[in-house]
A and B are shown apart, each in its own frame.
Chain A
């Protein structure tokens, strides 16, 4: 017998697609939602990673999970993701548009190609997948879409000009979706602070010393854990949040005492 509180945060019978889900935050969300009763679809460009995460989730939670290779910038891949989800689970109750990535680029060294590629990956991909999911989401009670936003999308971020610009666009897109969502589907963003994503953080151009100084700047004196972002996603998707749409929930350790990223020196 579930308590009233457990019922508010139960995802039994739900089917949730998570993109970029072989990575730290996406896979944490997969584990969390499955442990709360959902069937999750782990979508990632990295096929091996997606299948591995799905298998781990099934092993840990006993809930069937699907691992699918998806290139979020290829529309036919997104169509295939929907088709396989419906084929396997018959419905889509929630979507987490988590895929995204940006490299550190000095502000005047970007170009059209880099800017457009970032926009396609971080913003347009989420738009396309959400559009494809809508007919299914509209049939489900308390259907909800959560987007992974970034603090770089709301603060001046000259180190990440392509990524930060695309994330800023994403967040306003979500607000527009929320306004027309009607009572059927909710749209919210989790605004993610500096999270320890393991290797992908290092690949984005940080070095360990920068990260140590970054952690020191935060009110809570540490960077976030991937699961702490998943918790916020889960709240926004839950019944407890059923009158919440169009918000940006910042999960950032209370924010930084300084407004500037630490440099290399």
Chain B
């Protein structure tokens, strides 16, 4: 491998779920800069199209696809449309997710809500991996990157659904790496700490931020490009002997809402 090809994704095709905003959008832009064509998937079609437009305007190649990752037909459509319009899939970033935010009081949360969090975070990532793996296997290049969370290893009040779903993603990552390794498909995860996104802003106060920074050796919250940089590492040939791993991108510390 030549050194200038380490991060080269020219000719590769990437699907990024939740790609319309925040970390997902940063992943789309980063992978595009590395040369990949991007299927930007988002619950909000308009947001997906906007990111795709931005990439196309900058000279890259992208399409925007509406996808509710809790609906199986949407996941099938996402992969089929990507194959039809872009010609394959080599990289899958399972970034769409939700729940958490300290809103999961076990006295109040319903079984349906708890199950929905797993549907959104875990089952969607597993199902998309299942749908994409045959195409990755055929081309001999596959990298699946699951976006998990520091919550996956933290203990926090009112986070039992979200945190356990993210922990499930970590372990699913390790197990799928065992299944797919023989087909040259790598499966890794990136666990962001508190990263400056609209989702974080909705629950962040100056007091919470100050407390987060007390526990963070690198004295700032994460930027979306910090996360996208780790995603690029796993997506690109530079990490071709790395699989089953979780990188926590968290400034060295633990940021919690409580």
Bound Cα distance A228, B6 (Å): 11
Number of chain A residues whose Cβ lies closer than 8 Å to a Cβ of chain B? 47
Q: Do B241 and A224 have beta carbons less than 8 Å apart?
A: yes
Q: Do B238 and A254 have beta carbons less than 8 Å apart?
A: no
Q: Does residue A231 face the partner (Cβ distance < 8 Å to B)? A: yes
Comparing B105-113, B126-134, B161-169, B225-233, the segment that makes contact with chain A is B225-233
Output the nearest chain A residue to B231 by Cβ-Cβ distance.
A240
Bound Cα distance A252, B188 (Å): 12
Task: Looking at the assembled complex, report how far the CB atom of B144 sits from the nearest CB atom of chain A, in whole angstroms.
Answer: 12
Interface size class of B (residues with CB under 8 A): 35 or more
Q: Does residue B74 face the partner (Cβ distance < 8 Å to A)? A: no
Output the nearest chain B residue to A193 by Cβ-Cβ distance.
B241
Q: Does residue A245 face the partner (Cβ distance < 8 Å to B)? A: yes
Q: Does residue A128 face the partner (Cβ distance < 8 Å to B)? A: no
Q: Does residue B240 face the partner (Cβ distance < 8 Å to A)? A: yes
Task: Looking at the assembled complex, report how far the CB atom of A229 sits from the nearest CB atom of chain B, in whole angstroms.
Answer: 8
Bound Cα distance A180, B215 (Å): 10
Q: Which residues of B contact A257 (CB under 8 A)?
A: 178
Q: Which residues of A contact B232 (CB under 8 A)?
A: 5, 8, 240
Question: Per-residue CB proximity of A227-265 to B under 8 Å, as 1/0?
Answer: 110011011001111111111011111110100000000
Task: Looking at the assembled complex, report how far the CB atom of A225 sits from the nearest CB atom of chain B, in whole angstroms.
Answer: 7
Output the nearest chain A residue to B226 by Cβ-Cβ distance.
A243
Q: Do B177 and A219 have beta carbons less than 8 Å apart?
A: yes
Q: Do A220 and B243 have beta carbons less than 8 Å apart?
A: yes
Output the nearest chain A residue to B234 by Cβ-Cβ distance.
A235
Q: Which residues of A contact B223 (CB under 8 A)?
A: 243
Task: Looking at the assembled complex, report how far the CB atom of B63 sits from the nearest CB atom of chain A, in whole angstroms.
Answer: 22
Q: Does residue A179 face the partner (Cβ distance < 8 Å to B)? A: yes
Task: Looking at the assembled complex, report how far the CB atom of B174 sits from the nearest CB atom of chain A, in whole angstroms.
Answer: 8
Contact of A247 among B177, B222, B248 (CB under 8 A): B248
Task: Looking at the assembled complex, report how far the CB atom of B24 sits from the nearest CB atom of chain A, in whole angstroms.
Answer: 17
Bound Cα distance A32, B3 (Å): 7
Comparing B15-23, B83-91, B249-257, the segment that makes contact with chain A is B249-257
Q: Does residue B140 face the partner (Cβ distance < 8 Å to A)? A: no
Task: Looking at the assembled complex, report how far the CB atom of B236 sits from the nearest CB atom of chain A, in whole angstroms.
Answer: 9
Q: Which residues of B contact A252 (CB under 8 A)?
A: 241-242
The residue in B34, B184, B218, B222 that gathers the most chain A C-beta atoms within 10 A of its C-beta is B218
Q: Does residue B186 face the partner (Cβ distance < 8 Å to A)? A: yes
Q: Which residues of B contact A218 (CB under 8 A)?
A: 181
Output the nearest chain A residue to B178 by Cβ-Cβ distance.
A219
Q: Does residue B33 face the partner (Cβ distance < 8 Å to A)? A: yes
Q: Does residue B217 face the partner (Cβ distance < 8 Å to A)? A: yes
**Interfacial residues of chain A within 175-196, with CB under 8 A of chain B in the complex:** 178-183, 186, 193
The 9 closest A-B pairs by CB, nearest first: A240-B229, A219-B181, A254-B243, A245-B252, A243-B226, A228-B241, A246-B252, A254-B181, A183-B219
Q: List 11 A-B contacts (CB under 8 A).
A: A4-B33, A5-B232, A8-B7, A179-B252, A218-B181, A219-B181, A241-B249, A243-B222, A252-B241, A254-B186, A255-B178
Given contacts A3-B33, A225-B241, A228-B240, 9 further A-B contacts (CB under 8 A): A9-B6, A35-B3, A183-B218, A183-B219, A231-B238, A241-B229, A243-B222, A244-B247, A257-B178
User: Which residues from chain A sit less than 8 Å from chain B, CB to CB?
Assistant: 3-6, 8-9, 32, 35-36, 178-183, 186, 193, 218-221, 224-225, 227-228, 231-232, 234-235, 238-247, 249-255, 257
